[in-house]
Amino acid sequence: MSDNPTQALAELVCSTNYEAFPADTIHKAKLHILDTLGAAIAGSASRETDAVVAMLGIQSGTGHSPIWGRPIASDARTSAFVNGVSAHAYELDDSGGCDHSGAVVLPSVLAALGDHCQPLSGRELLRGVLLGYEVGRRVLEAVGGYEEHNGLGWHSTGTCGAFGAAAAVGSMVNLNVNAMASALGSACSFAGGTWAFIHNGSSTKKLHAGRAAEGGFMAAYLAREGLEGPDRVFDAGRWGSFFATFGAGKSDPQALVRDFGDYWRLNRCSIKPYATCRGTHAGIDALDLMLQRHGLAAADIAAIEIDISGFQYGMCGGKIIQSRAQAQMSLPYALAARLHYGKVFLAELEEAAWSAAEIGLLMDRIMVRIDPAMKDEDEPAITIVTTTGARHRLVVEFPLGGPQNPLSDERLIGKYAALAGMVLPASRVDALRDYVLDLENQTDARSLIALLQ
């Protein structure tokens, strides 16, 4: 293997075939594809996607690559961008990869799939998806990990996701090792996106998934056309390299290739049961469990105390809710919504829900404290105080939807159907489900494209 980390990673990506992935990993990949499609089809009706489509002036008859959930199409590069925005619009896409890997990888590979002149099998599509998840996550691990990289202000969905998309699309268009290395090098030029949105509830977070999908797609296609990317983009100490620029001196380039194939990174990813930031999910679960265990109702709760790490506080500790994006990123709001509405899904993220007077009263009874003893990645501790003065405290280490506490296939497919059914007719929802769940047996996966429009 090459001593150049970029070249070494390209060698591993290009030499990995479909047979390298165990059956259970293939099954999980299909579920993540279905979950991402459900989130994206529902998200196609979001105001973020409305704004992007209007800005780009996309109309029917202007391209061959569909904008999912809409009767319009564009060129492949543009569809990767728009569909990536849709996939992340409602915060219901998966997490735990580059962060939101599905919203980056799937729009890019399906753009490439629709651009293919020759049949491409479902197995080749699955291989591309799995390699995209693998590379995006490994880049994040190598640059220092989620807490380190995001703690610097970068949003890893946009920064590391671009490399995952480049690897995924590069595998779909059969780049050789040198071209794949160039694609990874060029992807660095499309890496970007910071957490600046968190301070005023901006929706620009949704753009990061779309831009990473588009950037990775472009990097792979440019490499196919012979454009040469930086040859050592993953050298730790080289000025201008990804690690030197986007890290803080804690990079580990060997993490790009170490034990490659021993544990596929898609297996660590979570599928969301709630329409909020993944950082809120353990808290929602803790509240759920305590209400159930102690036979309590919302009227029995006098106060809620949240103890949280400084890192998690900056990400989801806010109590000012003036937009859906702020509601999506707020643990206090998620707990208030769970108490008042009994659930935290799409309806609870609408303005009528988060602006309700009852929610304001509940938010006033929620206290958030930074616990300096907590590690960045620690899940929050939730304490409920009842009207009788009883106190109950719980930390949920493995939130629902994660690999240690997965959703059942039935619940996951139900989530997909509910989301896709917001936009598509029932017959199309069923056909898309059946196609994806049998993807490894499809001889020409391009048939999937028509089901998304």
Give percent helix, percent strand, percent coil of the chain, each to the nearest 5: 55, 5, 35
Residues 133 and 213 in one domain: yes
Token pair 């590979």 is at which residue? Answer: 109
Residues 414 and 324 in one domain: no
SS (H, E, C) 88-130: HHCCCCCECCCCCHHHHHHHHHHHHHHCCCCCCCHHHHHHHHH
| Strand ranges inside 222-326, DSSP E | 301-308
Give the largest CA-CA distance in the chain. 71
Residues 121 and 13 in one domain: yes
- Print the domain residue range for 163: 5-270+405-451
2 pLDDT band (50/70/90 cuts)? confident
pLDDT in tens, 276-326: 999 999 999 999 999 999 999 999 999 999 999 999 999 999 999 999 999
| pLDDT greater than 80 at residue 117 | no
CA-based Rg of the chain, rounded to a whole angstrom?
A: 21
Residues 374 and 235 in one domain: no
pLDDT in tens, 250-287: 899 999 999 999 999 999 999 999 999 999 999 999 99
377 is a domain residue: yes
| pLDDT greater than 90 at residue 63 | no
pLDDT value of position 181: 98
Find the CATH number of the domain harbouring 291.
3.30.1330.120
Tell me the whole-structure pTM to 2 decimals.
Answer: 0.96
59 pLDDT band (50/70/90 cuts)? confident
pLDDT in tens, 124-172: 999 999 999 999 999 999 999 999 999 999 999 999 999 999 999 999 9
| pLDDT greater than 80 at residue 111 | yes
| pLDDT greater than 80 at residue 410 | yes
Residues 196 and 342 in one domain: no
| pLDDT greater than 80 at residue 61 | no
| pLDDT greater than 90 at residue 93 | yes
Total count of domains within the chain? 2
157 is a domain residue: yes
Nearest-angstrom CA–CA distance, 451 and 453: 6
Residues 64 and 193 in one domain: yes
